[in-house]
Amino acid sequence: MKILFQFLFLFFVASMSSCTSYKAFLNYNESPRIPDGPMMITNFKPLTIQSSDILRIRVSSLNATAVAPFSMSSSANKEGGGFDEYLVNSEGDISFPTIGKISVIGLQIEEVKAKILEKLMPFFEQEPIIQVRLANFRVNVNGEVRGPGSFTVYNERLTIIEAISLAGDFTSYSQRDSILIIREQNGERNFGYVNFNSSEIFSSPYFYLQQNDVVYVRPRKTKVNSIRDPASRFLPWISAGVSVTLLVFTLSRSRN
């Protein structure tokens, strides 16, 4: 019985040394706990236009003749689904047909639409329809994820959770408590961290991503150790196998 107890103890130690704790895989588990009722969203900020952004703009009206002076060539419209692309220059302007320069830096999408509409109204009897989209809203997710890469987003709202999902989710070696977000905005580079193990992630200023954000997921130390010494991954199982062999040998001798 004593030998059996020793075997179980050795097997337990070997198993623990080869496994990551269960809590490390649980998202939003650490205090403060997720509230029982609704949580007010106070950390979402709509995207604002920055220099080097690319805007896709389409002007529509029942009077096609009136629209023509405010669109690019017809071939470009046909290939782009009626949208024209405009690069925001270093001064924060776009060059719009017939109208000329329009300053859009720091504006939200809806504010860009309103500004273009204001400038076009004198040329139309009926109010035209203005559609504006951000063509370069993409994020880069790399590090310890299943499918790292650069991902283009077709709406104006993306969370860090959705970005990780786009990259195929975490691996068993992902360090979830310190996800790094690198953000360049207004000529500055900022660094922030989010903790997937805590519910505080939902109130983080980095929960909602901005265009061109970079997300980096660190590997856990267990992966670093296994790469440095591949044999260490098999030591717990070798230890357990030796223990079983010794147990069987001891029991067989005691019976004899």
Mean pLDDT of 163-192: 94
Q: Give the pLDDT of residue 226.
A: 57
Instruction: With a cut of 60, say whether residue 194 has pLDDT above it.
Output: yes
CA dist 122 → 45, 69, 84, 111, 216 (Å): 32, 13, 21, 19, 49
Q: Is the pLDDT of residue 77 over 60?
A: no
Residue 78 has pLDDT above 90, yes or no: no
226 vs 17, residue with greater confidence: 226
**Could you tell me if 213 and 140 are in contact, meaning their C-beta atoms sit under 8 angstroms apart?**
yes
Is the predicted pLDDT of residue 150 greater than 80, yes or no? yes
What pLDDT does residue 30 have? Answer: 66
76 pLDDT band, cuts 50/70/90, is very low
The more confidently predicted of residues 187 and 143 is 143
Neighbouring C-beta atoms of residue 61, cutoff 10 Å: 19
Confidence band (pLDDT; 50, 70, 90) for 116?
very high
- Does the pLDDT of residue 59 top 80, yes or no? yes
Residue 46's pLDDT is what?
A: 92
Residue 166: pLDDT band with limits 50, 70, 90: very high
Tell me how far apart the alpha carbons of residues 29 and 201 are, in angstroms, rounded to a whole number.
Answer: 11
Tell whether the model's pLDDT for residue 134 goes beyond 70.
Answer: yes
Instruction: Report, at the CATH architecture level, how domain 54-134 is classified.
Output: 2-Layer Sandwich (3.30)
The mean per-residue pLDDT over the stretch 47-68 comes to 93
Mapped onto helix, strand or coil, the DSSP state of residue 69 is helix
pLDDT single digits (tens) 24-52: 556 666 666 777 788 889 999 999 999 99
Contact status, residue 189 vs residue 183, Cβ threshold 8 Å: yes
Give pLDDT, residue 75.
46
pLDDT band at residue 250 under the 50/70/90 scheme? low
DSSP codes of every residue in 218-242? PBPHHHHHHHH-GGGGTHHHHHHHH
Sorted by where each begins, the domain ranges of the chain are 2-20+228-255, 23-45+137-219, 54-134
The pLDDT value recorded for residue 192 is 96
Share of the chain above pLDDT 90, in %: 60
* Residue 33: count of CB within 10 angstroms of its CB: 10
What crossing angle do the helices spanning 2-17 and 235-255 adopt, rounded to 10°?
170
pLDDT at 225: 58
Q: Say which CATH topology domain 23-45+137-219 has.
A: Outer membrane lipoprotein wza fold like (3.10.560)
